[in-house]
Amino acid sequence: MLGYVQIFKPDLKVREYEIYMGYYCGVCKYIGSEYGQLPRMALSYDAAFLALLLASVDETPDAPTQEHCIVHHIKNKTIIRNKAIEYAGDVMLILAWYKMLDDAHDEGKTSAKAAVKLLKRLHRKLQQKYPALCDGIEINLAVLNGLEENKCASLDEAAESFSKIMEVIFREGAKSLYPNSQNLHDIFARTGYHMGKWIYLIDAADDIEENIESGAYNPLLYRFDYKGNLSGSGELADETPQQFRDRIHENLDFNLYHYLAVLSEQTGSLDIKKNQGIIDNVIYFGMNRKTEEIINKNKTEDNNTINDEGESDESI
């Protein structure tokens, strides 16, 4: 996951925000206690939502505590612990491992190569713990990498592999927490799949200018036949990045909001026992605002995600 699944803080109640941050900090605390301090760098707000949604169908009440934080040491932080939080932490580390492998292979980053060596034993442990999860991610990543290398012009085909990764993450989480409920496994799998569709497209839309500059693969540039220069060939461009954005605006708008509508249908079919307000806030406000922000990128400075309300980014 790529950091797009966040709350819209102004519309959350104070207690809801405390619970949300309790999940976020709970993931951080779990990673630190289980795997050491360095792996905590993999933390993102996506992990908090994954844990919140997986835990939402469990009747067991959250039990927040106030604990010391090694990073934010002046004031104690709200911490929540449960099995969903542990699973979300493990998922973040698995995804971080594959991201570092990709960086080390494609870009030859020295830091990524060092991290791969350092965390190899950790990943082996996680493979043994979640063999189906790791296999599913690895298989679909290989398909996705092949499509990107071949400059796939089919947006649906490129998004499918990433959506399958999200599907397996949510399905295996449900199987781990609720082993005897096939219905929950299927609902969570569909939820992850449709969330993956949205994440893949929103990331592509967000990276248009960066990918044009670097020449990196972006499915939108091939699907809608970008008529400018990729990675600066020196020739006169027929189309600027902003003109390209304007041209595909209607298509992006339709597809992104369609994916969110289907996602809301899936989460609406869950029998949610707790934290309904936070989950609704993420889907109906946070992800909608992020969609609006990126669709209209370079046209507005009104970015109202969690860090735009005076909050420091709590990622480590």
pLDDT band at 76 (very low <50, low <70, confident <90, very high): confident
Q: What is the pLDDT of residue 237?
A: 60
Burial of 301 (0-12, 13-18, 19+ CB in 10 A): exposed
Show the tokens assigned to 104: 């080390």
Q: Taking the CB of residue 194, how many other CB atoms lie within 10 A of it?
A: 24
Predicted model pTM: 0.88
| Identity of the amino acid at 178 | Y
Examine the pLDDT at 12 and tell me if it is beyond 70: yes
Residue 222 near residue 228 (C-beta atoms within 8 A): no
Q: What is the pLDDT of residue 121?
A: 84
Nearest 10 degrees: CA dihedral of 269, 275, 281, 286? Answer: -100
The full set of domains in the chain, from first to last, is 9-308 (1.10.600.10)
